Amino acid sequence: MGVISGIGNNVAECLNALVEGKTGIDKIKYLKTNHRDLLPAAEVKLSNDGLSVISGLAPHTSRTAMLSMIAAQEAWDNSGVKNIPSLRTGFVSASTAGGIDKTEEFFTHFLIDNKKGKLRNIINHECGSITTMVADKLGIRNHISTISTACSSSANAIMYGARLIKHNLLDAVVAGGTDALTRFTLNGFNTLLVLDEQYCRPFDENRSGLNLGEGAGYVVLVSERVALLLEKSPYCAISGYFNANDAYHQTSTSVDGDGPYMAMAGALAMSGLQPMDINYINLHGTGTQNNDSSEGAAIQRLFHPNYPKMSSTKSFTGHTLGASAGVEAVFSALAIHHGIVYPNLRLQNPMAAFPFTPEIAFSKQPGLKHVLSNSVGFGGNCSSLIFSKL
Cβ-contact 217, 375 below 8 angstroms: no
- Name the maximum alpha-carbon separation found in the chain: 65
Give the residue from 92, 79, 86, 68 showing the smallest Cα distance to 161.
92
Catalytic residue among 284, 337, 370, 382: 284
Helix (H, G, I), strand (E, B) or coil at 359: coil
Cβ-contact 184, 100 below 8 angstroms: yes
Could you tell me how many helices (H) and strands (E) the chain has, helices first?
12, 14
Cβ-contact 380, 327 below 8 angstroms: no
Catalytic residue among 127, 236, 319, 370: 319
Catalytic residue among 14, 151, 236, 382: 151
Phi, psi of 94 (to 5 degrees): -110, 150
Give the residue from 336, 322, 373, 332 showing the smallest Cα distance to 98.
322
Q: Which residues of 86-109 are buried (b: 16+ CB within 10 A; e: fewer)?
A: ebbbbbbbbbbbbbbbbbbbbeee
Taking CA atoms, 150 is separated from 97, 179, 367, in Å, by 9, 11, 34
Helix (H, G, I), strand (E, B) or coil at 238: strand
Taking CA atoms, 194 is separated from 8, 122, 200, 220, 276, in Å, by 26, 29, 11, 33, 33
Helix (H, G, I), strand (E, B) or coil at 289: helix
User: Does 200 qualify as catalytic in the annotation?
Assistant: no
User: Does 60 qualify as catalytic in the annotation?
Assistant: no
User: Does 167 qualify as catalytic in the annotation?
Assistant: no
Q: Which residues are catalytic?
A: 151, 284, 319
